Amino acid sequence: MMFLSVGVRFEANVEALNMVETAGNYTKHRRVPYLVEEDGKLKTIYVPAISGESLAHAYQEHLVKEALRMNLPVCEDCHRGEFYKSMNKVHLQKKISPIPNDPRKIEEAIIRKCVVEDVGGFLYAEKPPVRRSSTFQVSYALPIKSMALFATAEPQLHARHAQLDTSSKKGNVSEQMIYYVETGTALYGFVFNLDLDGIGVSAITSEPVLGEEEIKKRREAALMALFRMLSSAQFGAKLSRFFPVGGITELVVSVTEHPFVVTSPIYEGYAEKTEKRLEVLKSFNEDYFYTKTSEDKLPEEVLKEVIEYIREKEYI
Residues that bind Zn ion in the complex, under the rule CB under 5 A: 75, 78, 114, 116-117
Distance CA(184)–CA(283), nearest Å, equals 43
State the chain's maximal CA–CA distance in angstroms.
86
Distance CA(264)–CA(139), nearest Å, equals 9
Compare residues 78 and 194 and give the one whose CB is closer to Zn ion. Answer: 78
Using alpha carbons, list the distances in angstroms from residue 282 to 97, 184, 278: 49, 41, 7
Peptide bond just before 98 cis, omega within 30 deg: yes
Compare residues 80 and 258 and give the one whose CB is closer to Zn ion. Answer: 80
In this structure, are residues 221 and 140 in contact, taking their beta carbons and an 8 Å threshold? no
In whole angstroms, how close is the CB of 127 to Zn ion at the nearest point?
21
Compare residues 17 and 106 and give the one whose CB is closer to Zn ion. Answer: 106
Compare residues 56 and 114 and give the one whose CB is closer to Zn ion. Answer: 114
Compare residues 76 and 268 and give the one whose CB is closer to Zn ion. Answer: 76
Distance CA(135)–CA(229), nearest Å, equals 17
In whole angstroms, how close is the CB of 63 to Zn ion at the nearest point?
10
In this structure, are residues 69 and 218 in contact, taking their beta carbons and an 8 Å threshold? no
At 85 the three-state DSSP class reads coil
Distance CA(18)–CA(31), nearest Å, equals 9
Using alpha carbons, list the distances in angstroms from residue 59 to 52, 80, 116, 223, 315: 10, 14, 10, 10, 21
In this structure, are residues 291 and 262 in contact, taking their beta carbons and an 8 Å threshold? no
Compare residues 67 and 187 and give the one whose CB is closer to Zn ion. Answer: 67
In whole angstroms, how close is the CB of 239 to Zn ion at the nearest point?
24
Compare residues 78 and 141 and give the one whose CB is closer to Zn ion. Answer: 78
DSSP state of 244: P
In whole angstroms, how close is the CB of 15 to Zn ion at the nearest point?
29
In whole angstroms, how close is the CB of 60 to Zn ion at the nearest point?
9
In whole angstroms, how close is the CB of 117 to Zn ion at the nearest point?
4
In whole angstroms, how close is the CB of 100 to Zn ion at the nearest point?
18
In whole angstroms, how close is the CB of 155 to Zn ion at the nearest point?
38
Compare residues 77 and 220 and give the one whose CB is closer to Zn ion. Answer: 77
- For the stretch 134-154, what's the b/e string if a residue is b when 16 or more beta carbons lie within 10 angstroms of its beta carbon? bbbbbbbbbbbbeebeebbbe
Distance CA(63)–CA(59), nearest Å, equals 6
